Structure 1
Amino acid sequence: MKEEEVNRCQIQEWYPKFKSVSIKTWIHELPESFVQYLLDDSGPFLLPVSISNEDALPNRIHNPEEEDDYQVVEGSDDESEQPSLPPSFPELELEIKESIASLGGAVFPKLNWSAPKDSAWISTTGTLRCSSFSEIALLLRSSDSLVHDLCHAYDSCNDKTSSRPKSFFLALRKWYPSLQPEMEFRCFVRNQNLVGISQREATTFYPSLLESKEHLGVLIEDFFMENLRSRFESENYTFDVYVTKDERVKVMDFNPWGAFTLPLMFTWEELEQNDNEQGDGVDFRIVESQCGVRPGLKTAVPYDYVDTSSGSGWDQFFRSANEELQRQSRSPEAGA
């Protein structure tokens, strides 16, 4: 994989070209000071001061007794220690507030490649729905999966020259509360041919997909041929789509082929062997029974970090750990 292939999958790169077949999105370039705020883990967890007095956790309960624990008593050894001042990004906050209003009052955020799905639990709704800058900052600052975008985006590239892109962007996407998870699919393109389609939420059985599978496959294939095949410049990549109730297909995201992208109901070995050049058709996979549910795929960390198959990073780690354990057990000190 090359850096340029990874770069094409950044939302600020592909969205302007495909916005007519995607969902409405506003994109903001992030100041480096905000990027460093997201990366900083040296001090206490502090949310930016909101110039609009908007609270990221409006329903939290303040405990005066707990707050008293943090007061410095006059004459104590800690008196000289000044408390950390919370950061503030007034210009960015005003820009984001305006974008949220223009998108109907609620958005879900993502950086260049990834959304903070792993931190949804910390929001008051348990989702990525945000209506203020403070809520967005809370999700981004609490997410471990975004470390991939910030520090490891090019780890799988054979021409890696940097650990991060020159600039980071925040994409604010219009929030649709009625989206149905069974209508989102991941599509796999090899040698510019659509070779596979997978149910995006592979941890759930949706009976309705059994009846509509064939028709959905036709809709997605037609969409790919008409809108993506000759326009997206990479030969190998994946893209996610959502099929609306009125049978319109919307592209939601692009991801590189392999590396940190989840193959969902496929394996990358299977996909590598299928190029669809012989007219075999697209392999469309859904969970066809409750017994077919694949556990463990609800993850927001890169695929490289959860893949334990032969030759994976974890497989090599376990092998090395086992070899070290055997070496130590054979050492003279072990028998002492």
Structure 2
Amino acid sequence: MKEEDVNRCQIQEWYPRFKLVSTRTFIHELPESFVQYLLDDSGPFLLPVSISNEDAFPNRIHNPEEEEDYQVSEGSGDEAEPLSPPSFPELELKIKESIETLGGAIFPKLNWSAPKDSAWISTSGTLRCTTFSEIALLLRSSDSLIHDLCHAYDSCSDKTMSMPPNFFLALRKWYPSFQPEMEFRCFVRGQKLVGISQREVTTFYPVLCEKKNDLEVLIEEFFNGIVRLKFESNDYTFDVYVTQDERVKVLDFNPWGAFTLPLLFTWEELEQKPREGDDLDFRIVESRCAVQPGLKTAVPYDYLDVSAGSGWDQFLRNAGEELQRQTKSPEAGA
């Protein structure tokens, strides 16, 4: 993988070319002060002061151990001046205007990634945001965005930098009717579509079994007619969404391998796919027994006690035994 391949996958790079076949998006370049705010982990977690009084959690400090004494200088014994929450008025006004234009609700992402790992902290448990403060809360709480901020080029064979020269915030229109079963990840090797995977692999959707052949035709035609002609890398992945009226929308581009999840494939399998021939492999979860493991909880996995003897340890053991029982049962082999 080369740096140029990673750079092409930044949303501010690919969106202008695919705007007509993507979801409506506004992109704002982030000031250096806001980028440093996202990177700063040296003190209490303070949300920015909202000039519109639209705080997600007013005056919230996200560090319980320091909540009571964060105003005292370490080792001084003297009271220090209270910490002033940051403020980004120009950026907030631009974002507020964009949210209103997009219908009042959006989900955010940086150059490459969305803060999916911090959805648990929002009041809705999703990435849906209606204010600048809600966006700041999700971005500041996300560990996955550290990839964008510090490690985007770690897997590049010609690595010359650790972060891009500029960061961007993409505000993507929130669609309440979004159906997760209609989102797919597509794998391109040698400018040839070699694989398609159901994007949400933790759920079995019977409708996909019925529509699999039609969906494969739609996505392959979309790739050959639009994506292959406009995206310059040889190896990459892209995510699409198929609407109820059978229109295909491109949602994202990601580099081949590295931090990109192969979902129902493995990267070893995909690397072995021939670059020539007609052997497109479309994979879906075809039964409840084939669902990929995943903990759908309201808190991050790291916060759970999964040690031996814990409640979650017993749950996982029971789930594994049940999966083996179902797999060996006569009904599973039918």
Q: Give the TM bin, normalised by the shorter chain.
A: 0.7 to 0.9
| Corresponding residue of 2:210 | 211
In the TM superposition, 1:154-169 aligns within 5 A as 154-169=153-168
The DSSP-based 3-state class of the residue aligned with 2:237 is: strand
In the TM superposition, 1:316-327 aligns within 5 A as none
The DSSP-based 3-state class of the residue aligned with 1:131 is: coil
| Alpha-carbon distance, 1:187 to partner | 0.2
Measured against aligned partners, the alpha-carbon deviations of 1:165-200 in whole angstroms (never above 9, x if no partner) come to 000000000000110110000000000000000000
| Corresponding residue of 1:8 | 8
Give the alignment's TM-score, normalised by structure 1.
0.82
Higher Cα Rg, which structure:
1
Compute the RMSD of aligned alpha carbons. 2.3
**Counterpart-to-counterpart distance in 2, 1:230 and 1:252:** 17
**Counterpart-to-counterpart distance in 1, 2:29 and 2:70:** 38
| Corresponding residue of 1:194 | 193
| Corresponding residue of 2:288 | 290
In the TM superposition, 1:1-336 aligns within 5 A as 1-57=1-57, 69=68, 78-275=77-274, 277-280=276-279, 282-296=280-294
Matching residue's letter, 2:194: V
**Counterpart-to-counterpart distance in 1, 2:18 and 2:116:** 23
The DSSP-based 3-state class of the residue aligned with 1:88 is: coil
| Alpha-carbon distance, 1:150 to partner | 0.2
Q: 1:69 to 1:10 in 2, by over 3 A?
A: closer
Give the alignment's TM-score, normalised by structure 2.
0.83
The count of aligned residue pairs is 291
Matching residue's letter, 1:171: A
**Counterpart-to-counterpart distance in 1, 2:79 and 2:189:** 62
Contact 2:71/2:79 (CA < 8 Å) preserved in 1?
no
| Alpha-carbon distance, 1:110 to partner | 0.1
Q: Which runs of 4+ in 1 moved over 2 A?
A: 67-73, 77-80, 296-299
Q: 1:113 to 1:72 in 2, by over 3 A?
A: closer
| Corresponding residue of 2:322 | none
The DSSP-based 3-state class of the residue aligned with 2:159 is: coil
**Counterpart-to-counterpart distance in 2, 1:275 and 1:163:** 33
| Alpha-carbon distance, 1:83 to partner | 1.8
**Counterpart-to-counterpart distance in 2, 1:265 and 1:45:** 37
User: Could you list the runs of 5+ residues in structure 1 that have no partner in the other structure?
Assistant: 300-336
**Counterpart-to-counterpart distance in 1, 2:83 and 2:127:** 28
**Counterpart-to-counterpart distance in 2, 1:237 and 1:72:** 49
Matching residue's letter, 1:135: E
Q: 1:69 to 1:263 in 2, by over 3 A?
A: closer
Measured against aligned partners, the alpha-carbon deviations of 1:250-306 in whole angstroms (never above 9, x if no partner) come to 0000000001000000011111111351223x100000001111114989xxxxxxx
Q: Percent identity?
A: 77
